[in-house]
Chains A and B, each alone.
Chain A
C-alpha cells in the first residue's frame, strides 16, 4: 500500500502542477483530495490493518494529504498571479490618448484675478471693499470731489455723458472716486475701505487706452491720520503685492480732491530699480495718484476736518494685469478670444 500511496501522491502532485487554470486546479483538487478520491479510499482501507501498520500508514496518509493540499494552495496562488497579470495586461490604457482635449476648468478673466488679488491684500491690511454705481451724476463724480463746473481740472477727464436728466448731469463715472463720497455718506468714520470697479473715459482704444477700464481706490478716514500714514500704507501694500524687493515713493502732484497730493511710484518691477526700457531707465514706474482728503471733500459729506483726517489713493487694475503676464496691448483684455482667456 505504501507503494500505491507513493505512486498516488506522485501522480496527484504532477496533476496539480500541471493544472493550467483555476477551474482545472479545482477539478484536480476534487479528484485527488475529495470525498471520492483514491486517497479517501485508502483511508477507508486503514481499518483492516494491524495497529502498527495502521499508525505508520495513517501517518503517511496524513502527510501526503497535507502536502497535496499545500501544493494546491501554492498552485492556486501561482495561477491567480498569472491570471491577474494577464488581466492587467489586457486592461492596458494609453493615458495620453486624449480624445477630448477641452480644458476641464474655465478661467477667471485676468482683470478679475488681479482685482481679487488686490482686494485680498487690502483685506489683509484691514480694509473693507466698497462698490458703487457706474452711472453717476455730476455731483458725485465731480462737484463733491471739489471739481465745480468749469473747473479747469475737468479737462483731466474726458467724460462720457448719458442722455438723461439735465444735459451733462448724468454720466459714466470717470473714476472710482464717487464711491468715496458714497462711503463717507453711508458710514461714520473711522473708514478703511478700498473701492475697485469699472470706469469710463471718452478715449479711443489703443494699446494703452480703452474707453472702459478698471481702477481700485482706497480711502482712510480716522482721527490723527497723517501723510506719513499714507506713505506707510502704500509702502505696505507695495511690498505685499509686488514682493519685498519693490518699494514705493511719493512725488508732489495735483488732484482737486486731495491736498497735499502725490504721484505714487514703485520700483520698476522688471528691473527692480536698476533701469530698463519699460521704465525709461528711471528705475521707477508711475502707478497712480494719492493724497490727503481735501477739506472741501469732507465738507461735501459733512465730516468735520478738524476732528477727522484721511487719505485716498487710486490706480489702474488693468495695467497691473498686463504687467504681470507681459501682455503688451490693453485691447487684448477685451477681445474675449478664448485663446487669450484660457492662457491665465
Chain B
C-alpha cells in the first residue's frame, strides 16, 4: 500500500520529519519498503511535447524523437522507449540536469545522431516502479512547466508500506493516518463530505435484494445523474498515478480514488443498462457464464458470488470484477453505484479460483469496513459533483450476515501477563481509544476486566489476544522490555543427533565432502540409476525434472559426481545424510526414512588397481561401523539393484539388510556419463541406529608377552575371507587377540578358482605367558577348524 504524506495530512496534522514518520510507520507494523521524496532533485526536468518520431538510421533499439519545450523549436532526442505517440506530453531532462540517481545529462552522439536531453520514465523521476516506458503526462500541462509543478507533487513524500493481512484498515490512506495520528498524539479527523441531492429519487429507479446472506453482509446503492465521462482533473489523476494506478476516466478514477482513500472498493453500473434497475446478490450456479470487464468470458461455480439484474442474469462477479454488459461508457448519464461488504472467505476463494487478484479483491478478502459504505458513497458523490454529476435523493441499504461485533471482555492482568509489563485498565484505554477501540464500561471492573468494542474496520480482530497485540503495537514493541524465561533447564542434543554429527565428522576425517543434492528427481532418474520401482510424485511440481520424491540418495550423488566430472574435477568423494520416501501401497502418506550415502570416485581412493573404489567403500563402511561401536554387521555379496553384480553386497545387521556397499554397475555409470569407477556405501540410519550401539566397555590389556603366527589357507574363490576369519576367531578363543589378513595370492599351482588367504594371528593370555605347546595347540586347532569348515588346505 502506497501513501502520500500530503494525503495523510488531509486526515491528521502530521508534523514530524519524513524520516521520523518512516520510523514510526515501521514501529506500528507498517514496514516502510521505500520512501521517495517527490519533487526533490527534479530541477531541469520539464514538460515537452512529442512532435515527431523517426527510426534511427543506424540502430533499431532506439528511435529519434523530436520534442518541443514550448519555444517552438524541434529538439532531437535519442530514446530507447517506444511507448509514446505524437502529441503526448512527456518529461524531458534538459542538458545540464542532474538526475535523482546522480546521472548528469549531457549532449551525446549515439551512432551518429545527436541527443539533446533524456525523456524520463516514472522510475527515473523517482515516482514509482513503472519503468516500462516514458511517463506519459496526464492532461495537457503547459510546455516547459517544471515537472513537480505539472504533476502537483511539490514537496511530497511517497511511502510504500508492507501491510499485513490482519490490517485491512491500513489498506487505505485514512487508516494509515489514523494509526499515525494515534502514535503522534495528534487528532485524526475522518472525512464528512456534505453533498446536496437533486432530481428524481432513487426509489422506483433502483432496488437491491440479497438472496444469499452468507455471501454479502451489506449492500448499499445510490444513483448519480448528469454524469459526463471524461478525463479526471490533474491532481486526482496524479495521486492515482503515484499510488500505482493508471488513470482511465473520470468515473473509474473516482471509484479508485475512494477505494485508496477510504479502503472501500466500489463498483459503477450504467443504470440504463441494468435490467429493471435491480441488483440481486446470490451464489453463482455451476457453469453460469459471464463476460467480465476485461472482455473475457468466464465460467463460474457455486463458490463464486454474482450480482444479477432483474432477469437474474449475472452482471458482475461479487467483489472480484464487474461485467461488460453494464460497463460505464461515454454515453452513460446515470450511474448506479454499488458499495458492498462481502464475506472475506468467499472473495478469497473466488479470486484465487478465477486467478483474478485485484486491488478490490485484496481489500474484500481481508475484511473491509461495513460501516464506511455510506460515507464512501458520499465521498464518491462529492468528487463526481466536481464533474457536474448530481446525487439522486434516497439510498438503498440491505443487510445480509454481518460479523458479530459485540464487545469482548479484556482482563487487564492478562494483558500484563502476556506482555511482561504492567498495564492499568486506564493505560490500555488510552492506547486503544485513538485507533477507534470503544470502552463502553468502566476502565477497571471489580474483577479487573473491561469491555472492549472492536471497530468495524478491524475484521481480523475479535479476541482478547487480538486486543493484547494492539496494546503492544500502540505501546511500541521496543518499549516492552526484555527478560529471560525463568526456569532452570538443560539443553542437549538427542542420541540420534549426536550420532549423526559423529558420522559426519568421521566421513570428513576420511576426506569425504558433504553434498546437498535436491530431493526431487526426474521420472527417469531412478531407472537410469538401476533402481526401478514406485516413487511418490508431486501434484504441482515446478518442472517435470523435479516431480519425483527420491527413494534413494544415489541418483543425487551420481548427478553431483557427473557434474564435477564434467568440470574436470577428479578425486571426488561425497556423502549425504537425508530423507528418502517410499510410496504407501494404499495411497496414504509416503513412508519417510533417513539414509546415509557415500559415493567415492576411484580417483579419490588413493589406491591402484581397478578395485580401489570398491575396497575404499568397504574401508569407509568399516570405519563408520567402528565409530558407532555397532556390533553384528556383516556383508552378504548379493548384488543389490544398480550395483556391480560381482562387486557389491548387502550390509546386514544381525542378518537383516540395512544398507548396501560396493561398486556402481558400469552400465549405470555410463548412463550418468561418469568416466571412472564409483563405489557407494548406503545405510538406513533409522534401522541402523535403532540397534544398540555406542557402548565401549573396557577390556584389560595383557602385560604378558605375545606370540605371532602366520597361516595361509588355500580356499575356493566362493569362500569369503570374512567367513575364514570368523572360523579362525571362533577356534582361537580368548587367547587369540588379533587376526589380520595380510596377503591374497592366486596362481596356477593353487588350482583354478582357488586362492591363498594369509592371516597373521597374535596370541596372548591375560594371566600368563603362553607356552610353546599352548601356542602349538592353538595353531593346530585353528588349522583343523578352517580345513573342516571351508575345504581349505594349509599352504606351506
Contacts and interface: CB of A to CB of B under 8 A. Distances in A.
Question: Chain A interface mostly helix, strand, loop or mixed?
Answer: mixed
Nearest to A295: B465
B587 A165 contact: yes
Q: Give 6 closest A-B pairs by Cβ, nearest first.
A: A252-B29, A226-B420, A228-B420, A254-B164, A336-B560, A260-B469
Contact of B513 (A122, A151, A341): A341
Given A135-B590, A150-B348, A225-B485, A111 B494 contact: no
B589 A137 contact: yes
B587 A164 contact: yes
A294 B164 CA distance: 17
A152 interface: yes
Given A105-B511, A233-B485, A251-B26, A164 B590 contact: yes
Nearest to B516: A109
A184 interface: no
A117 interface: no
B524 interface: no
Given A123-B493, A228-B421, A259-B465, A161 B540 contact: yes
Interface string B473-513: 10001101111111111111110010001001001111111
A326 interface: no
20 contacts: A106-B575, A126-B488, A127-B491, A128-B494, A135-B581, A162-B549, A163-B536, A163-B539, A164-B587, A164-B590, A227-B480, A228-B419, A231-B481, A249-B478, A251-B477, A261-B469, A336-B516, A336-B517, A338-B572, A339-B569
Contact of B465 (A155, A252, A294): A294
Interface of B: 26-29, 31, 164-167, 344-345, 348-349, 352, 365-366, 417-421, 463, 465-466, 468-469, 472-473, 477-478, 480-494, 497, 501, 504, 507-520, 536-542, 546, 549, 559-560, 563-564, 567, 569, 571-575, 578-579, 581, 583-584, 587-590, 592, 604, 606
A223 B560 CA distance: 49
A228 B483 contact: yes
Contacts of A69: none
A341 B574 CA distance: 10
B525 to A, nearest CB: 15
A24 interface: no
Interface in A276-329: 292, 294-295, 309
Contact of A134 (B27, B164, B473, B592): B592
Contacts of A235: 482
A133 B592 CA distance: 7
Nearest to B365: A152
B588 A106 contact: no
Contact of A250 (B478, B508, B563): B478
Given A123-B491, A162-B538, A232-B483, A108 B514 contact: yes
B419 A226 contact: yes
A253 B509 contact: no
B542 to A, nearest CB: 6
A79 interface: no
A334 interface: yes
Contacts of B492: 123, 128
Contact of A152 (B28, B366, B508): B366
Contacts of B349: 150
A216 interface: no
Interface residue tally on A, bucketed by range: 35 or more
A167 interface: yes
Contact of A202 (B164, B465, B537, B540): B540
Contacts of A103: 511
Given A128-B492, A135-B590, A227-B419, A259 B511 contact: no
A335 interface: yes
A227 B472 contact: yes
A57 interface: no
Given A106-B514, A152-B165, A336-B563, A263 B31 contact: yes
A211 B513 CA distance: 23
A74 B43 CA distance: 99
A162 B606 CA distance: 43
Interface string A167-200: 1101010000000000000000010100000100
A112 B480 CA distance: 35
A119 B482 CA distance: 22
Contact of B571 (A102, A116, A131, A170): A102
Given A161-B539, A261-B469, A309-B418, A102 B514 contact: no
Contacts of B578: 198
Contacts of B419: 226-228, 260
Contacts of B563: 335-337
B26 A106 contact: no
Nearest to A134: B579
A164 B571 CA distance: 41
Contact of B540 (A160, A198, A251, A335): A160
B100 to A, nearest CB: 15
A157 B531 CA distance: 33
Nearest to B541: A160
Interface in A242-282: 249-254, 259-263
Interface string A104-142: 111111011000100100111111110101110100000
Contact of A106 (B465, B484, B513): B513
Given A102-B606, A129-B497, A252-B472, 6 more contacts: A107-B508, A192-B487, A211-B518, A222-B486, A227-B419, A227-B477
A203 to B, nearest CB: 8
Of the listed residues A152, A161, A192, A226, the one surrounded by the most CB atoms of chain B closer than 10 A to its CB is A152
Of the listed residues B419, B492, B540, the one surrounded by the most CB atoms of chain A closer than 10 A to its CB is B540
B190 to A, nearest CB: 23
Given A137-B589, A202-B542, A226 B606 contact: no
Contacts of A251: 26-27, 29, 31, 477
A100 B606 contact: yes
A133 to B, nearest CB: 5
A126 B484 CA distance: 11
Contacts of A160: 538, 540-541
A153 interface: yes
A211 B546 contact: yes
Interface string A47-86: 0000000000000000000000000000000000000000
Contacts of A21: none
B512 to A, nearest CB: 4
A162 B537 contact: yes
B347 to A, nearest CB: 9
Contacts of B518: 211-212, 334
B418 A226 contact: yes
B357 to A, nearest CB: 9
A129 B588 CA distance: 28
Contacts of B579: 133-134, 198
Contacts of A126: 488-491
B420 A108 contact: no
Contacts of B468: 259-260
B165 A106 contact: no
Contacts of B541: 160
Given A152-B165, A231-B482, A336 B418 contact: no
A236 interface: yes
Of the listed residues B465, B473, B501, the one surrounded by the most CB atoms of chain A closer than 10 A to its CB is B465
A109 B485 contact: no
Contacts of B478: 249-250
A80 to B, nearest CB: 33
A338 B536 contact: no
Nearest to A153: B165
A259 B592 CA distance: 33
A165 B589 contact: yes
A212 to B, nearest CB: 6
Nearest to B22: A282
A153 to B, nearest CB: 6
A231 B513 CA distance: 38
Contacts of B569: 337-339
Given A102-B571, A106-B510, A333-B516, A233 B484 contact: yes
